Amino acid sequence: MALAASLAAILVGWAPQAAVSREGLVAIGGVNLHIETLGRSGPTVVFEAGLGNDSTTWKSVAGPVATFARVVLYDRPGLGRSSPPKDKTTAVTADEVATRLHALLAAAALPPPYILVGHSLGGLYVQMFARKYRQDVAGVVLLDSSSPDAPGELKTRARLAPGTAAYLEEEGVPESNEQVRRGGPFPDVPLTVIAATDHGPYFREWEPTLMRLQQQLATLSARGTLIVAEGSGHDVQLDRPQIVIDAVRRMAGAAQPRP
């Protein structure tokens, strides 16, 4: 998607004054993206949802995190309150998502550094952002994140309707994996990986592989740590929200702006 005019984006219903909460639509590359911020001060924590999910997936953690940080929630094209993508046939890739998010944060006057929190496929997008904009990242939290090294058999069981946002995102996974692998080194920042242990009956035999992938992700940074959310399903932010809140709180204390 062309984003050449993104920094001169049209702001629709976006009130830039200091406030506890503000939200609205920001036009990036011809698509109106819904964005919301919570909290007055502290590090800027940007949340990236998983495949086909919108910002409401963070409802259990956003408010508590906003008590010690500035929270940024947004919806990718075709999800939540954002407008549909202009092209409903082309697969969505991690590089596209990262580039668009970077432009959105700039257009909304939310300067770096950022603590990035990504769930599932959103974790893969966060990995791309961190590699592409290394100097803008202060820390990363990955929640049962997708891995570029995951075997192809690990796909969603859901039947996704062609042309939907989720379908286009899943279609882009192979290329997204390649982009992350080619995306340069992961930044030397604090990294927390939170691994779920119960992915349901269909993935029971894959649990050892899934855990191994999470362990590998924790080695992306020399300052990486692994937290095992025992008994949690894939949606850790819903099943074990306090684990996520505590991890982000620790990250907010540990992450320092890069020079």
Q: Would strands 21-28 and 31-38 be described as parallel, antiparallel, or unpaired?
A: antiparallel
Q: How far are the Cα atoms of 6, 109, 158, 175, 228 from residue 105, in angstroms, in the given order?
A: 10, 6, 31, 24, 31
Asked if pLDDT for residue 6 goes beyond 60, the answer is no
- For 116-133, write each residue's pLDDT tens digit: 999 999 999 999 999 999
d(CA 239, CA 243): 9
What's the pLDDT at 65? 97
Instruction: Write down all domains in the chain, each with its CATH number in brackets.
Output: 21-254 (3.40.50.1820)
Give dist(CA 241, CA 245) in Å, integer: 6
- By percentage, how much of the chain surpasses pLDDT 90? 80
Tens digits of residue pLDDT in 75-119: 999 999 999 998 889 999 999 999 999 999 999 999 999 999 999
Cβ-based neighbour number of residue 184 at 10 Å: 10
Instruction: Give the 3-state secondary structure percentages of the chain, helix then strand then coil, rounded to 5.
Output: 35, 20, 45
pLDDT at res. 152: 78
pLDDT digits (tens, 9 = 90+) for 133-186: 999 999 999 999 999 999 877 776 578 899 999 999 999 999 999 999 999 999
What mean pLDDT value characterizes the chain? 90
Q: Which distant-in-sequence residues (6+ apart) come within 8 Å of 10 by Cβ?
A: 26, 27
Peptide bond into 257 cis (omega under 30): no
